[in-house]
Structure 1
Amino acid sequence: TAGSTPEALEIAGRWPPDVLVSDIAMPGEDGYALLEKLRAREGDLGHIPAIALTACAGNTDRLRLLAAGFEAHIAKPFDPAELAAAVEEAASHGRAPAA
């Protein structure tokens, strides 16, 4: 668990996760910045599937999250079973490398 974008990037560099689960509203840089920086990384780090957790649950928000590269959008408050299913789905399919 990380509390900021720099901390998340440091941890991911040492222990790459199978799936990134990120809140969008974080102190300092938001979840969009985290995903953008992660996607810019070389190798497998740039291809980690990502799930967004956010209180912004409108269709426009969802479309923005998906366009930014998140594979799934979970609205807060969320059902833990829904999050677990999304993580399982993302981990099993992964993210294809960019062409």
Structure 2
Amino acid sequence: MRVLYIDDDRINSLLFVEACRFAGGVETETAASGAEALELVQRWRPDLLVVDLHLPDTNGYALLPALRAQLQAPTLPAFLCTADETAVVAGPAQEAGFDGCWSKPVDLQSILAELARRGGHNEHSGLDRN
């Protein structure tokens, strides 16, 4: 499974990458801004997106449709990640097309469980994952 983690906080990115490495079978890339994420997906196609709500050049709500459009993948699974109170942003996140909302600091066990749950065949890449 290929996961793109978009967050301008380097520590959060490192924690996420290490958690995915520990899980095994997960290839990760990170981006620190919306522009960097849009440039990255021109050459690397993720199976799942994790998008920070507050980025230096945009917000997660605006970035998700741009990423899905560029990838031509309108149903690409995506999770909003935020330090804001998740009860407040969960509704708007769902309306914006996110599959769920994760709070910061990230709960690595929940993330690993979600990645494992989604670890089967992915229609976007055609890859089988274990």
Q: TM-score, normalised by structure 1?
A: 0.79
Equivalent in the alignment of 1:55: 83
Answer whether contact 1:47 1:95 (CA < 8 A) is retained: no
Matches within 5 A, 1:2-41: 2-41=31-70
RMSD over equivalenced CA pairs, Å: 2.3
Aligned partner (choices 112, 115, 119) of residue 84 of structure 1: 112
Equivalent in the alignment of 2:102: 74
Higher strand proportion: 2
Taking the aligned partners of 1:16 and 1:80, their CA distance within structure 2 comes to: 23
For residue 43 of structure 1, report the CA deviation from its aligned partner.
2.8
Q: Which amino acid aligns with 1:40?
A: A
Higher helix proportion: 1
Gaps of 5+ in 2: 1-29, 125-130
Gaps of 5+ in 1: none
For residue 52 of structure 1, report the CA deviation from its aligned partner.
0.9
Q: Which amino acid aligns with 2:85?
A: A
Q: 1:6-61 CA distances to partner (integer Å, 9 max, x unpaired)?
A: 110111121111100111111011111210212333633x3321011101224231
Equivalent in the alignment of 2:18: none
Answer whether contact 1:49 1:90 (CA < 8 A) is retained: no
Taking the aligned partners of 2:53 and 2:78, their CA distance within structure 1 comes to: 11
Q: Name which one, 1 or 2, has greater alpha-carbon Rg.
A: 2
